[in-house]
Structure 1
Amino acid sequence: MVSIEFWGGVGVIGSSKILISDQGHRVLLDIGLDIPGGKDLFRPPVRIRPDRELADRLRMGAAPRLPGLFDPAALADGDPLGEAVGPTAVFVSHPHIDHVGLAGFVRPDIAVHAHTDTVDVLRALSSTGAGVSGGDPDWQRLMDGQKTTVGPMQVECVTVDHDVPGASGYLVHTSDGVLAFTGDIRFHGRNPERAWDFVRRAGDCAVLVTEGTTLGWEQRDNRVRDEDDVERDFAALLESTPGLVLLSMYPRDVERVRAFLEIAAAAGRTVLWPAPIAAFLRLMGVEEALDTDAVGLPEVHAAPASYVLVPDPADLPSLLDLPVGPDSVFVHANGEPLGPFEPRWEPFTDWLAALKVPLRQIGCSGHASQGDLHAMVERMRPGTVFPIHTTSPTRLHPPLGIARVIAEYGSTYDFAGGVLEKP
């Protein structure tokens, strides 16, 4: 019998980890940082101990106690988790920290797979000092449609649409049927055909494990903002702002970066990035990415209307060195700090208010809307669906005949959704 265990993403957004076992072989889908009880014990101002991060997380229940997964060198002395167990392989859906953050601690004899574009992002981040903790594993590159054999299982990589290069779902072909895992997915992005192709290829699967981020959000209307909305709003703010424009966005969303650079150039403005981010973008092929130091703050003061500047979100006092005030604007396009749920958000908005800099939020979600999630399940028609990566899994309502199971952390299930074992 094939079993499924959930070691993250249960009742929280992020920290996905799904373990599938078949005849002594194991496949782990995603290996994100865990957020126990909805509150990250290691959030700022807590400082990570570099040589003790995994051991500390395990002790505090902020990482999964999975035997034979982690490198013994990263564990506390004598921790039995370091003992090898059955053959295991890890598959990462995309390069966001809540899906890949623990990959650097995996045993060196366990293969860690990801789409080749995801590997490029993670290697570029490592080169600029922003890689995963513990260092890069020996990444095994995948292409769309490529299948990897793990004992009796075959794991198929399927690209989807998300707000980062290389985002993929997986189809795990097991002895009891196919388990489909969406990773993070959306249907309103630049490449919706990828998401719908995943739905087609996963049709009639035995099990669907889906992210459900937006199930926990209150939707004010049925319209979903898309990238056209974001680009239109950015262009309008550039036109209407007489002074310096400040910007926060995901550097890993390379497609949006390229679009914003074009919009800024058309408006006669140059985008300036912190040096590490500019270096990352150049490694990702965005050769025109300039860092602030290369231009210099005197130039920005001399002609603030000629620039869009991306501040370091960890250095709010650096805003004092900029020509900002009521004729400026801070454009928040899904960057850091991520939102009001994050501890850094209140100090960030307090600083803007004190400097009298207006804040405009223009982003769009990287996650499927509630309507698209329900349409996906209806088209796919799995036997059993597990909604994870959400604070409100009970808001997913599958059609009659499809079993919805609300997973519990560390519990073991069969493909019909039955509980085999509780922790």
Structure 2
Amino acid sequence: MKDQTKITFWGGLDTIGGNIVSIQFKDYRIITDFGALAGVNIMDLLSKETTHSHLALGQLPAISGLYPKAAIGDFELESFEESALNTIVCLSHLHLDHLGAFGQLPEELPIYALEEAVDFYKQLEKTSLLPSYAVNWQKVTAESTLQHGPFEIVFHESDHDTVGAASIFIKTPDFKIVYSGDFRLSGFHPEKVLNWAQKAHEFDADLFLVEGTTFSHFASEPNPVDVALAEVTHSINSPNEIKLMNSIEAIAQEHSEQLIAFNGYPQNIERLLVLAELFTTLGRTLVMDQTYFELMKPYLTGYLNVKYLLIDGNASIEVTDEAVSLEMLREMPQHYILQFDYERHEHVFTLPAGVYFHSNGMPLGSYMAEYEPYVRRFVEAGWEFYHANVSGHASQSDLLLVNYLTQAKLVVPWHTFKPDFYGQAIEEIGLQTWLPEYHVEYTAAELSDMIK
């Protein structure tokens, strides 16, 4: 039989995250993303001593020629060293559900990601905000072509709530694939998403692998915890990042004499930078947890008023004019906005209560046991508690817009708990969808025959 592209799905078809697909032509192979499969503890995947047991339990995809021989042990699977395949991994972005199984990979296996993502990963690793993965990082320039045997691979900048997110275009000798990665039109750079969607249309993709996180959510009875907390908190959850900043600014001006506190998501560093700019213009200094300050330093420009909080236990940072003490916050709360990390926040309750913005920080929501007591403690201490979130994922209407703009011949709706529901919505705008099965090898000819 004539050589042709072969595609196998290993994770993410009916879950949020854990997206893993292998694309092979002859003895060359690409794997896109390698996060933890649904239900697997990320911390359990850090050591190769667990590889054999995870494979045996089906908690790692049994992909031939991928894992080190020493890690596989007696599990019946060809090892990386024994394989004649030339394998690389292409990473769409830095979230753990897309890279959380990197600790299981051979150190010499090339991992390709946008240059900005690799640099940011090294900052996150340095500050222990992501695990340390001993892998062979390779930087890719956006829009440039990466050649891997017969494959032509192009990374296009996207917009998600982390730095260096990408969509990935893959051209094989007989098939063209676009992997969307995770994306949104509600971030600071929606034009990046619209740009790659237009390029995908021009690319004339045969297959579009597209995330659908928000098609997992349906109207249901409200969580009793959320109902109870709504009586004692405020919400400025926003449809986009700009609206969120406008809301925060208005509230800050109303409370100009009080301390403001903020708990955010470290990978959304652009929100932190815009926040720093906003409060600099309002005459306040953003005072950061030491870990976040170190993460931010390479991205700070001279005019921004950003310093770190000097408290017991962070003397590893030399005390300079970049430091702000708790006493300074108590004496002049109106001059500051305090950013803090959930794991290091007890000092907040030694400060005068003010306005607190909970902005996609930990704990994430009412499905976590620690969430309700966390919120209530702030409220009982006298803080005005604001939920101030923006999703990292496109809305249902925005997902359909990008699908329609892309106009792929065949669409796989994945990265959602409801791929059938998402697929139906895609079909209703005139596109053809396909719901593949796990661990089945599909050929380009088979997929081409499906296309109407």
Q: TM-score when scaled to structure 1?
A: 0.86
Amino acid at match of 1:4: I
Give, in angstroms, the shift of residue 114 of structure 1: 0.4
1:398 aligns with 2:426: yes
1:292 aligns with 2:309: yes
Give, in angstroms, the shift of residue 176 of structure 1: 2.8
| CA–CA distance in structure 1, aligned partners of residues 199 and 368 of structure 2 | 36
| CA–CA distance in structure 2, aligned partners of residues 344 and 5 of structure 1 | 39
1:234 aligns with 2:237: no
User: In the alignment, what sits opposite 2:216?
Assistant: 216
Question: In 2 relative to 1, CA 304–58 (structure 1 residues): closer, same or farther, beyond 3 Å?
Answer: farther
Give, in angstroms, the shift of residue 144 of structure 1: 1.4
Q: Secondary structure at the match of 2:426?
A: coil
| CA–CA distance in structure 1, aligned partners of residues 246 and 139 of structure 2 | 36
| Bigger shift: residues 277-286 or 369-378 | 277-286
| Structure 2 gaps, min length 5 | 221-236, 311-322, 448-452
Equivalent residue runs for 1:233-272 within 5 Å: 233-241=247-255, 242-272=257-287
| Bigger shift: residues 409-418 or 149-158 | 409-418
| CA–CA distance in structure 2, aligned partners of residues 277 and 81 of structure 1 | 42
User: In the alignment, what sits opposite 2:409?
Assistant: 383
| Bigger shift: residues 121-130 or 7-16 | 7-16
Amino acid at match of 1:11: D
| CA–CA distance in structure 1, aligned partners of residues 273 and 397 of structure 2 | 29
Question: In 2 relative to 1, CA 76–217 (structure 1 residues): closer, same or farther, beyond 3 Å?
Answer: same
Question: In 2 relative to 1, CA 199–270 (structure 1 residues): closer, same or farther, beyond 3 Å?
Answer: same
Give, in angstroms, the shift of residue 89 of structure 1: 0.6
Task: Indicate conservation of the 8 Å contact 1:160/1:185, yes or no.
Answer: yes
Equivalent residue runs for 1:24-35 within 5 Å: 24-35=27-38
| CA–CA distance in structure 2, aligned partners of residues 347 and 316 of structure 1 | 14
Task: Indicate conservation of the 8 Å contact 2:427/2:433, yes or no.
Answer: no
Equivalent residue runs for 1:17-416 within 5 Å: 17-36=20-39, 41-42=40-41, 52=49, 54=51, 57-58=54-55, 60-72=57-69, 75=71, 77-81=73-77, 83-84=79-80, 85=83, 86-133=85-132, 135-203=133-201, 204-218=204-218, 225-241=239-255, 242-285=257-300, 289-293=306-310, 294-315=323-344, 317-324=346-353, 328-396=354-422, 397-399=425-427, 402-415=431-444
Question: In 2 relative to 1, CA 262–61 (structure 1 residues): closer, same or farther, beyond 3 Å?
Answer: same
Q: Deviations over 1:217-251 (max 9, x none)?
A: 3489xx98122201101112212234322212222
| Bigger shift: residues 362-371 or 342-351 | 342-351
| Bigger shift: residues 194-203 or 395-404 | 395-404
Amino acid at match of 1:176: D
Give, in angstroms, the shift of residue 389 of structure 1: 1.3
| CA–CA distance in structure 1, aligned partners of residues 123 and 76 of structure 2 | 34
Amino acid at match of 1:323: P
| CA–CA distance in structure 1, aligned partners of residues 369 and 35 of structure 2 | 20
Amino acid at match of 2:396: Q
Give, in angstroms, the shift of residue 215 of structure 1: 1.2
| CA–CA distance in structure 1, aligned partners of residues 301 and 56 of structure 2 | 41
Task: Indicate conservation of the 8 Å contact 1:103/1:132, yes or no.
Answer: no
| CA–CA distance in structure 2, aligned partners of residues 48 and 158 of structure 1 | 29
Q: Secondary structure at the match of 1:373?
A: helix
Question: In 2 relative to 1, CA 76–282 (structure 1 residues): closer, same or farther, beyond 3 Å?
Answer: same
Give, in angstroms, the shift of residue 49 of structure 1: 7.5
Give, in angstroms, the shift of residue 344 of structure 1: 4.4
Q: Secondary structure at the match of 1:231?
A: helix
Q: Secondary structure at the match of 1:7?
A: strand
Task: Indicate conservation of the 8 Å contact 1:393/1:406, yes or no.
Answer: yes
Q: Deviations over 1:259-290 (max 9, x none)?
A: 10011122232222221111011134466542
Q: TM-score when scaled to structure 2?
A: 0.81
Question: In 2 relative to 1, CA 343–78 (structure 1 residues): closer, same or farther, beyond 3 Å?
Answer: farther
Task: Indicate conservation of the 8 Å contact 2:9/2:20, yes or no.
Answer: yes
Question: In 2 relative to 1, CA 30–285 (structure 1 residues): closer, same or farther, beyond 3 Å?
Answer: farther
Identity %: 25
Task: Indicate conservation of the 8 Å contact 1:330/1:357, yes or no.
Answer: yes
Task: Indicate conservation of the 8 Å contact 1:278/1:291, yes or no.
Answer: yes
Give, in angstroms, the shift of residue 56 of structure 1: 5.8
Q: Deviations over 1:7-44 (max 9, x none)?
A: 222322222222112223210111223223xxxx537x
| CA–CA distance in structure 2, aligned partners of residues 407 and 249 of structure 1 | 37
User: In the alignment, what sits opposite 1:421?
Assistant: none
Give, in angstroms, the shift of residue 202 of structure 1: 1.3
| Bigger shift: residues 138-147 or 328-337 | 328-337
Give, in angstroms, the shift of residue 178 of structure 1: 0.6
| Bigger shift: residues 64-73 or 88-97 | 64-73
Question: In 2 relative to 1, CA 72–47 (structure 1 residues): closer, same or farther, beyond 3 Å?
Answer: closer
Amino acid at match of 2:394: A
Task: Indicate conservation of the 8 Å contact 1:124/1:284, yes or no.
Answer: no
| CA–CA distance in structure 2, aligned partners of residues 121 and 142 of structure 1 | 13
| CA–CA distance in structure 2, aligned partners of residues 80 and 322 of structure 1 | 59
